[in-house]
């Protein structure tokens, strides 16, 4: 069920009406759980079993981990949880990929496997993994209410496209009444409107152009191909962040606060800054559950760079089972390693590439990496790179007017966002100058309406 479809609008309306009339918090939670099950079953009812299996396994594993006082027993339960979750993910998402790779290496006929990838499996697998790991680390207590834990795993707004919400963020909010309130509803509607605008007005308008060029780049001129790469960079950002905004807005109306997932990533002035802004719940997950356990930056410079490369390589595979995604991850891993080295050589204010130059280099690198992320195969990616390098100059020109209408709007939106962020930092500064009384009064009178 797509967030921007009428089916979802009707589904959400029924859920909100149900929350309004349910007399108790327990009934509201049960309603959300049933609605989440229906939401996932809308795509393929049989895969509800797939969603329930890791949920039950991790529920009991976490309790066993918490109750056991012996380190080796706790590790065994954690290992069982990891193997079961990653095993399901590997079977559904990577069996075909590895089979094709092995067949290609040995010159064998590529197998035809009929494995349908369950929607959202990457997201809810990472969510349940973080739960059992956090319980093992004694950072959170095991949830002993099966229905509340099932609701955490299956919660429909962020089930299939994120943000990746950790149990430490979600479960403490289960004490909320979940009664609909107008101030939260107004804020949620504004966030939803922002997400719908990103998705329908920007991403969906740019998709036909990017799809056509990436399907046959050899037919088009270098400038047309370059504009398609630019269009895709805007499309994927507005598509992904738009879905996250809708999930956050819907949750705000229901009564849950989900973490921010995007913070104007194309305003980043370094690749490290980009990953602090892009898909923030994934980047923090990779940092806390992969990069740091690998050793982080605690075992010397060389090991730090290797850890960055491994983390981003696996992050690329998480996005998709293809070697093009692996290359995308390796590019970002190399970019993070180079930036870390550069920051060591030129610390603080001595760094020569900052401001506009740093932004241009970062955005150019990100767009170059998007070529491999979007291309269906390496031959397509190579053809695009040849066009951008003007090695292949042949092809027709296609001036896609919606791109040049949308681009100024995106730039304006970033300008407004950066200005608002700067003003927020000034307002929170201990050195801030108190506003005039009339301005403070006006702000107080409208803050609830325009929160």
Q: What digits encode the pLDDT tens for the residues 243-257?
A: 999 999 999 999 999
Q: What digits encode the pLDDT tens for the residues 114-140?
A: 777 788 888 989 999 999 999 999 999
Q: What value does the mean pLDDT take over residues 368-380?
A: 95
Average pLDDT, the chain: 89
Q: What value does the mean pLDDT take over residues 285-308?
A: 89
At 425, is the pLDDT very low, low, confident or very high (cuts 50, 70, 90)? confident
Dump the DSSP string for 237-305: HHHHHHHHHHHHHHHHHHT--PPP--S-GGG-SSHHHHHHHSSHHHHHHHIIIIIHHHTTTSS-HHHHH
The larger pLDDT score, comparing residue 435 to residue 149, is at: 149
**The pLDDT value given to residue 302:** 87
- Which residues make beta-bridge pairs with 396? 220
Catalytic residue list contains 332: no
Which whole-number Å values give the CA distances from 425 to 314, 413, 422, 430, 445, in the listed order? Answer: 35, 18, 5, 10, 22
**Backbone phi and psi for residue 389, each to the nearest 5 degrees, phi listed first:** -85, 0
Q: Which residues contact 412 (CB under 8 A, 6 or more apart)?
A: none
Is residue 38 within 8 A of residue 48, CB to CB? The reply is no
**The pLDDT value given to residue 36:** 93
**The pLDDT value given to residue 106:** 74
Task: From 264, 190, 260, 193, select the one nearest 234 (Cα to Cα).
Answer: 264
Is residue 252 within 8 A of residue 191, CB to CB? The reply is yes
Q: What digits encode the pLDDT tens for the residues 88-118?
A: 888 888 888 888 888 777 777 777 777 777 8
Q: Is the pLDDT reported for residue 432 higher than 70?
A: no
How many Å from the N-terminal Cα to the C-terminal Cα in the chain?
29
Q: Is the pLDDT reported for residue 175 higher than 60?
A: yes
Is residue 44 within 8 A of residue 118, CB to CB? The reply is yes
At 449, is the pLDDT very low, low, confident or very high (cuts 50, 70, 90)? low
Is residue 227 within 8 A of residue 403, CB to CB? The reply is yes
Here the contacts of 398-403 (C-beta below 8 Å, separation 24 or greater) are: 398/209, 398/213, 398/220, 398/224, 399/224, 399/227, 400/209, 400/227, 400/231, 402/205, 402/206, 402/209, 403/206, 403/209, 403/227, 403/230, 403/231, 403/234
**The pLDDT value given to residue 423:** 77
Q: What digits encode the pLDDT tens for the residues 53-98?
A: 888 999 999 999 999 889 999 999 999 999 999 998 888 888 888 8
Q: Is the pLDDT reported for residue 153 higher than 90?
A: yes
In a 13 Å sphere around the CA of 41, the CA atoms on its Cβ side amount to 12
**The pLDDT value given to residue 321:** 83
Q: What digits encode the pLDDT tens for the residues 383-417?
A: 999 999 999 898 999 999 999 999 999 998 888 88
pTM (global) more than 0.85: yes
Reduced to 3 states, what is the DSSP secondary structure of residue 42? coil
Q: Is the pLDDT reported for residue 149 higher than 80?
A: yes
**Backbone phi and psi for residue 396, each to the nearest 5 degrees, phi listed first:** -90, 155
Q: What value does the mean pLDDT take over residues 223-229?
A: 96
Radius of gyration of the chain (CA): 24
Q: What percent of the chain has pLDDT over 90?
A: 64
Show the DSSP H helices in 349-436 as ranges.
355-374, 378-388, 401-428
Alpha-carbon distance 58 to 133, whole Å?
A: 10
Q: What value does the mean pLDDT take over residues 429-434?
A: 62
Q: What digits encode the pLDDT tens for the residues 333-369?
A: 999 999 988 888 777 655 556 688 889 999 999 999 9
**Backbone phi and psi for residue 220, each to the nearest 5 degrees, phi listed first:** -120, 160
Q: Is the pLDDT reported for residue 20 higher than 80?
A: yes
At 422, is the pLDDT very low, low, confident or very high (cuts 50, 70, 90)? confident
Q: Is the pLDDT reported for residue 429 higher than 70?
A: no
Structure tokens belonging to residue 204: 């969906």
At 436, is the pLDDT very low, low, confident or very high (cuts 50, 70, 90)? confident
Catalytic residue among 319, 332, 339, 414: 319
């Amino acid at each position: 069920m797509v967030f921007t479809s009428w089916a979802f609008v009707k589904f959400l309306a029924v859920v909100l009406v149900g929350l309004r009339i349910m007399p108790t918090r327990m009934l509201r939670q049960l309603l959300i759980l049933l609605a989440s099950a229906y939401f996932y079953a809308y795509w393929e009812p049989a895969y509800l079993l797939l969603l329930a299996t890791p949920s039950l396994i991790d529920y009991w594993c976490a309790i066993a981990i918490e109750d056991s006082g012996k380190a080796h027993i706790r590790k065994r339960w954690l290992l069982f949880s990891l193997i079961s979750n990653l095993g399901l993910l590997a079977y559904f998402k990577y069996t075909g990929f590895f089979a094709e790779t092995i067949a290609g290496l040995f010159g064998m006929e590529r197998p035809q496997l009929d494995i349908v990838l369950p929607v959202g499996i990457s997201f809810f697998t990472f969510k349940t993994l973080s739960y059992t790991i956090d319980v093992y680390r004694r950072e959170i207590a095991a949830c002993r209410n099966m229905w509340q834990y099932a609701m955490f795993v299956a919660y429909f707004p962020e089930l299939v496209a994120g943000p990746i919400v950790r149990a430490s963020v979600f479960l403490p909010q289960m004490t909320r009444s979940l009664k609909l309130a107008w101030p939260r509803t107004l804020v949620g509607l504004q966030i939803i409107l922002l997400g719908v605008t990103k998705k329908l007005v920007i991403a969906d308008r740019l998709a036909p152009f990017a799809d056509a060029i990436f399907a046959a780049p050899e037919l088009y001129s270098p400038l047309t191909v370059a504009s398609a790469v630019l269009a895709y960079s805007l499309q994927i950002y507005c598509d992904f962040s738009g879905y996250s905004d809708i999930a956050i807005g819907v949750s705000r109306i229901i009564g849950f606060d989900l973490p921010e997932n995007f913070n104007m990533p194309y305003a980043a002035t370094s690749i490290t800054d980009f990953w602090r802004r892009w898909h923030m719940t994934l980047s923090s997950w990779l940092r806390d559950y992969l990069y740091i356990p690998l050793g982080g930056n605690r075992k010397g410079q060389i090991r730090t760079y290797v850890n960055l490369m491994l983390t981003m390589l696996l992050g690329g595979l998480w996005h998709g089972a293809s070697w093009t995604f692996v290359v995308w991850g390796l590019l970002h891993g190399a970019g993070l390693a180079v930036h870390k080295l550069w920051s060591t050589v030129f610390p603080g204010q001595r760094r020569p590439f900052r401001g506009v130059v740093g932004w241009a280099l970062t955005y150019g690198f990100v767009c170059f990496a998007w070529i491999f992320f979007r291309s269906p195969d390496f031959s397509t990616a190579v053809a695009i790179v040849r066009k951008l390098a003007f090695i292949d100059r042949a092809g027709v020109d296609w001036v896609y007017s919606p791109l040049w209408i949308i681009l100024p709007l995106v730039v304006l939106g970033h300008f407004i966002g950066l200005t608002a962020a700067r003003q927020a930092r000034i307002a929170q500064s201990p050195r801030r100058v108190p506003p005039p009384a009339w301005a403070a009064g006006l702000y107080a009178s409208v803050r609830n309406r325009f929160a």
